[in-house]
Structure 1
Amino acid sequence: MEQKNFDVIIIGGSYSGLSAAMSLGRALRQVLIIDSGLPCNRQTTHSHNFITQDGEKPAVISAKAKLQVDLYKTVHFYSGLAVKAVKKDNGFEILTESGEVFNCRKVLFATGVKDLFPEIKDFENCWGISVLHCPYCHGYEVKNEKTAIIANGEMGFEYAKLISNWTKDLRLCTNGKSELTLEQTETLNKHGVQIFEEEIDSFENQDGYVQNIILKNQEKITVKAIYAKPPFEQHCPIPETLGCDINEQGLLKVDAMQKTNVAGVYASGDCTTQMRSVAIAVSTGSFAGAVINKELTDEDF
């Protein structure tokens, strides 16, 4: 790519990054999107709870978005991995894995998170297909089905309460000794939630669609859907190397304007919130783009 200097570089070209780029492109800003092509929902079969796109395949949404953003001639795309960012007096220098260097006044991280899967055979193969993280995104499609939750303690209790709105045919797998209080256990039992403490060995599945949970004692739990919230880490380590704060959940800390604690650095989408959905990623990206344009305008006026 011949052009090396931009108003804004967006690292991450999925829903949030593309949404920010549209805001900035419509504001006539010179924008570069650097994207490595690995969205965290790449295995998810359908996206839901996003008006006008309900039930659409995530890849179709992002492809259509990219085509629309590409119509704005001040927005440019670079396929590759950003590996380093250096703060300069007048902005930032971004280095890619292939050795190219780009400069910008502001940088937006829309880089998502990387899920850290448990040591359960075929968990990863089922993730986003029948092992789900969000009932608002996928609960309607498995309503009233045999469902399991993999969680423990307070999180397991609250998760079971929430999911019971979508199905009463529910079991809680603590994947080891239960950390529920006696009162929580009694409440779940009263509501018909079965509790299994045996560790999980694997999932029997067909092309990612779970059929049985196999416990380490070889007991089978027949289910059609599983909810789980595995731990995660930031997909991109660059914000931390720039000095951006991470909150106790492991997310980039931003204020109400999508600003990090480092001047000129913004973040949006899944890397900033536990509410992981396409709709929220689009919303925060669009807002971040408008905020960044306002900051650039104020600096130049």
Structure 2
Amino acid sequence: MKVQDHFEVIVIGGSYAGLSAAMALGRSLRKTLVIDSGQPCNRQTPHSHNFITLDGVPPAVMADKAKKQVLEYNTVTFKEGLVTAVEKQDDTFKIRLGDRTVIMAQKILFATGVRDIMPSIKGFAECWGISVLHCPYCHGYEVRNVRTGILASGETAFETSKLIQHWTNDLTLLTNGDPELTEIQTHLIHELGINIIKKEISELEHEDGYVKSAIFSDGTTFEPKAIYSRVAFEQHCNAPAELGCEFTDHGHIAVDFLGKTSVDGVYAAGDNTTPMRSVSVAVAAGTKAGAAINLELINDRLK
């Protein structure tokens, strides 16, 4: 084990929220380290949308440009690695990495995102982020007015059906078994002109992630251009829970408006804190958290 260095702030996670926070901290002259394991949740997505000045840019290109700009600030450094544990000792944090390096920090920001849990449908994971989509605000314009499916059941199916029908009139709800809908919900979905198929899906046939057809267990098919689905998720990093951070009922790290968690000195920003998963939201959250951490460091010194 080797203690490598001591930083004012360590940002765990080097995607949009983490890099945005690091820029705010770099511009605040804070000695900051960004640690990233290189597994962003949108790594399959061809293009990012709904972010002014960068609409349609591939996520990897956007992240690479952001990293280069952040590292122009000489107080910010970047390290590839996987954080395995974070321990709080009085007012200092000890961060352990997979290579047994130990790094110390006064403040921690978790920008670690979430890990999507794919359903056991052949081809689903390969299409995720390409033609199986989580957000109409991020991708709906590109698949507007085309044959579209919604893979969901229950309340999620009902709410998503209401939302997506604004982008296309050729919409089918695929419940993959029991719809778990009330009679009123079923009636309203039909009133919107949305067909419901209850058959179980055995495979999503695709070409390079672009769905060609949903193949049902009875051999019949449905041929959409896109499918919306909300999958389950889990936190990428267990350290916030191990530190005692509170979580919301939906499994996100609970934070205030500026990204502060329930544990002193610990902040969080990005997809690990909110269901609003978009680049613009992550960037804004990172900027706020970076500014809040800088102010907290100033106030700590004045105590």
Taking structure 1 as the reference length, the TM-score comes to 0.98
The alignment status of 1:81 with 2:48, answered yes or no, reads no
The alignment status of 1:63 with 2:64, answered yes or no, reads yes
Deviation, 1:219, is 1.2
Q: Look up the match of 1:227.
A: 228
- CA separation in 1, counterparts of 2:189 and 2:199? 17
Q: Look up the match of 1:237.
A: 238
CA deviations on 1:120-177 (whole Å, 9 max, x unpaired) are 0010000000000000000000000100001111110110000001001000011111
> Which letter maps to 1:114?
R
> Which letter maps to 1:245?
E
Q: What SS is found at the alignment partner of 2:252?
A: coil
Deviation, 1:3, is 5.4
- CA separation in 2, counterparts of 1:167 and 1:288? 37
Q: Look up the match of 1:18.
A: 19
The residue correspondences of 1:142-161 to structure 2 (distance < 5 A) are 142-161=143-162
- CA separation in 1, counterparts of 2:65 and 2:179? 46
Q: What SS is found at the alignment partner of 2:68?
A: helix
- CA separation in 1, counterparts of 2:128 and 2:88? 37
Q: Look up the match of 2:297.
A: 296
Which stretches in structure 1 are left out of the alignment for 5+ residues? none
Indicate conservation of the 8 Å contact 2:25/2:290, yes or no.
yes
Q: What SS is found at the alignment partner of 1:269?
A: coil
CA deviations on 1:64-119 (whole Å, 9 max, x unpaired) are 00000010000011111010000011310000000000000000000000000000
Q: What SS is found at the alignment partner of 1:274?
A: coil
- CA separation in 2, counterparts of 1:275 and 1:215? 31
Runs of 4+ displaced beyond 4 Å: none
Q: Look up the match of 1:105.
A: 106
- CA separation in 1, counterparts of 2:88 and 2:40? 26
- CA separation in 1, counterparts of 2:155 and 2:36? 37
Q: Look up the match of 2:173.
A: 172
Q: Look up the match of 1:272.
A: 273
Q: What SS is found at the alignment partner of 1:78?
A: strand
- CA separation in 1, counterparts of 2:69 and 2:232? 34
CA deviations on 1:197-220 (whole Å, 9 max, x unpaired) are 111111111100001011111110
Q: Look up the match of 1:252.
A: 253
Deviation, 1:2, is 8.7
- CA separation in 1, counterparts of 2:191 and 2:152? 19
> Which letter maps to 2:51?
F
Q: Look up the match of 2:119.
A: 118
- CA separation in 2, counterparts of 1:192 and 1:217? 25
Q: What SS is found at the alignment partner of 2:73?
A: coil
- CA separation in 1, counterparts of 2:11 and 2:106? 11
Indicate conservation of the 8 Å contact 2:255/2:273, yes or no.
yes
Q: Look up the match of 1:198.
A: 199
> Which letter maps to 1:10?
V
- CA separation in 2, counterparts of 1:228 and 1:104? 39
Q: Look up the match of 2:282.
A: 281
Aligned length: 301
- CA separation in 1, counterparts of 2:220 and 2:186? 21
- CA separation in 2, counterparts of 1:241 and 1:3? 23
- CA separation in 1, counterparts of 2:261 and 2:294? 16
- CA separation in 2, counterparts of 1:74 and 1:128? 35
Indicate conservation of the 8 Å contact 2:134/2:229, yes or no.
yes
RMSD (Å) for aligned C-alpha atoms:
1.0
- CA separation in 1, counterparts of 2:234 and 2:291? 27
